[in-house]
Amino acid sequence: MSAVAELAGVSAITVSRVVRLPDMVAPQTRARVEAAMRELGYVPNQLAGALAGARSNSVGVLVPTIANSIFADTVQGLSDELEPLGYAVILAQSRYDAAREDRMLSALLSRRPEAIVMVGSPATPDGARLLRRAGIPVVETWELPPEPIDAVAGFDNFEAGIAVARHFAGQGRQSLAFIGGDDPRATRRWNGFNQTALQAGLKAPRRLTLDRNASGSVVALANLPGVDAVFAANDAHAIGFMSGLRSAGLLRIGPATEQPVAVIGLGDLEMGRLISPSLSTVRVHGDAIGRTAAKLMLTREGPRHIDLGFELVLRDSG
């Protein structure tokens, strides 16, 4: 707090007021103090009244969303490993918003957790700085950054895109498209997908970025005329797109039936296995990612960069 006060040119009590009672501080002064806090990676300690050696026995977990269950297996696997050891999992969501992610990281760190586990990597330099200066284990999951903050448990999103494009090319599909969000992991899937399609001599795939709340059905169909193969960034978007195909009469029911438009998702959600036709998908080992993240958090021994891979699971949709 003293360092923040010195950098901002204010007193320590002013810094304290910005943290506890921000409305009592003039906006310009508050902005100066908050800028100093960001630069120094300062996070208020909400456990400052406890003994210095006290442990929180908590782990902060930051996921993009809990609106669908794509990350549920990872959180479950993590919890299954940690809860028997007396740890509590504190869950926060970024909602794919970089500024919100920074706020949630700060909020988690203010509880002084034993570790931070997050889906993906920090979206901003400020977020990365907070984690690097936190002095606790940090595990990034669901991707494989070349320069992780600490440890990584995930899979190669770029390679997942390559696998799907190769499959479509092998089927003789000619007009490919990618639908989904524009977050870093989805973008790496798109990059692998697009590059491989072009290398196979196909025309350039189209990319349709959907709103966070879009199902991927009517919107995608209206913007992708003539498409004969779609890779969706996740199973939820794939299922939504298939509902649009069904409404348009472009979905054939029954096993071993070639679809006019092939669809492959990612995540292997239970709903995708139950619908008809069943959804082809990239299976991600979410439970193993969570359990591996817990082990990386608990020990410094062994590899810190673990690729758990993925599987291309082919069902009736393509």
Helix axes 98-110, 125-132, angle to 10 degrees: 20
Q: For residue 50, is it within any domain?
A: no
| Claim to verify: residue 128 and residue 204 sit in the same structural domain | no
Q: For residue 201, is it within any domain?
A: yes
> pTM (2 decimals)?
0.81
| Claim to verify: residue 102 and residue 171 sit in the same structural domain | no
Q: For residue 49, is it within any domain?
A: no
Residues of the chain with pLDDT under 50: 49-53
| Claim to verify: residue 132 and residue 219 sit in the same structural domain | no
Domains of the chain: total: 3
| Claim to verify: residue 96 and residue 168 sit in the same structural domain | no
| Claim to verify: residue 173 and residue 275 sit in the same structural domain | yes
Contacts of 97 (CB under 8 A, 6+ apart): none
| Claim to verify: residue 191 and residue 242 sit in the same structural domain | yes
Model confidence pLDDT, tens digit, residues 211-264: 765 555 656 676 788 899 999 999 989 998 998 888 888 888 766 668 899 999
Q: Containing domain of residue 3, as a range?
A: 1-42
Q: How far apart are CA 318 and CA 256, in angstroms?
A: 9
pLDDT of residue 49: 46
- What is the overall mean pLDDT for the chain? 89
Q: For residue 75, is it within any domain?
A: yes
Distance of CA 312 to the CA centre of its chain: 20
Q: For residue 82, is it within any domain?
A: yes
| Claim to verify: residue 199 and residue 103 sit in the same structural domain | no
* CATH number of 128's domain: 3.40.50.2300
Sheet holding 280-284, edge to edge: 206-209, 176-180, 229-232, 262-266, 280-284, 310-313
| Claim to verify: residue 64 and residue 38 sit in the same structural domain | no
| Claim to verify: residue 275 and residue 295 sit in the same structural domain | no
| Claim to verify: residue 203 and residue 162 sit in the same structural domain | yes
pLDDT of residue 21: 76
| Claim to verify: residue 101 and residue 138 sit in the same structural domain | yes
